[in-house]
Chains A and B, each alone.
Chain A
Amino acid sequence: SQQGEEDPQALSIQEGENATMNCSYKTSINNLQWYRQNSGRGLVHLILIRSNEREKHSGRLRVTLDTSKKSSSLLITASRAADTASYFCATVGKAAGNKLTFGGGTRVLVKP
């Protein structure tokens, strides 16, 4: 079963625009991670945010975490065609047996 649920399931934007996707989860977590996957290939780790952190930045990525609402968001600023991919949130927490549990993903299409 999936811990995280992502919203929206798909997103289509123009190059240069910002892309925002959200992740909600059910049980308490130690940390939340975001991954990117290009067309059915392996996943690439983007960013990890711990349960005691509220916001984290990495290049054009900004991640927020609201543990009271059990939700996180990933913002990609100034998107590029190369950002076209599926983005997954994944949580690690004791209730889920301390294994990485993935959400359903958001498919992002950046049109040039």
Chain B
Amino acid sequence: KAGVTQTPRYLIKTRGQQVTLSCSPISGHRSVSWYQQTPGQGLQFLFEYFSETQRNKGNFPGRFSGRQFSNSRSEMNVSTLELGDSALYLCASSLLAGGQGGEQFFGPGTRLTVL
């Protein structure tokens, strides 16, 4: 089975721009979660989608949004980028919804740099 894939792997943007990141989960997985990883704040949960519905959301401003398609692929969007949005964005898929606490399979991440 192919693993979780994320595109693009690296991205450089300037302040004020917007960005869309993509995640393709493992085949058969219906749950996709997104995380932001920075040296200062560590790994922080952004949101989880299950069967096209947002099930859970972390403490991030409304500039961060996401969606999930019928094939379980997910995208996250960050609008009006700020320098502090520079981070590694990780996507994870799982068979069960997050609340059922199963193992999550992570993609390699998208490294976003905001200049």
Residues of chain A touching chain B, judged by Cβ–Cβ distance below 8 Å, are: 1-2, 30-31, 33, 35, 40-45, 48, 88, 90, 92, 97-105
Contacts and interface: CB of A to CB of B under 8 A. Distances in A.
Contacts of A98: 56, 98-99, 101
A44 B103 CA distance: 10
Given A98-B101, A99-B58, A44 B106 contact: yes
B42 A104 contact: yes
A100 B106 contact: no
Interface string B23-66: 00000000001010100001111001000000010110000000
- Identify whether the interface residues of B are mostly helix, strand, loop, or mixed: strand
Choose among A40, A99, A102, A104 the residue with the greatest number of B CB atoms under 10 Å from its CB.
A99
Choose among A2, A33, A35, A42 the residue with the greatest number of B CB atoms under 10 Å from its CB.
A42
B98 A42 contact: no
Contacts of B45: 99-102
Given A1-B59, A99-B48, 4 more contacts: A43-B106, A45-B105, A92-B99, A97-B56
A18 to B, nearest CB: 25
Contacts of B108: 41-42
Interface string B82-98: 00000010101000001
A100 B102 CA distance: 10
Contacts of B99: 92, 98-99
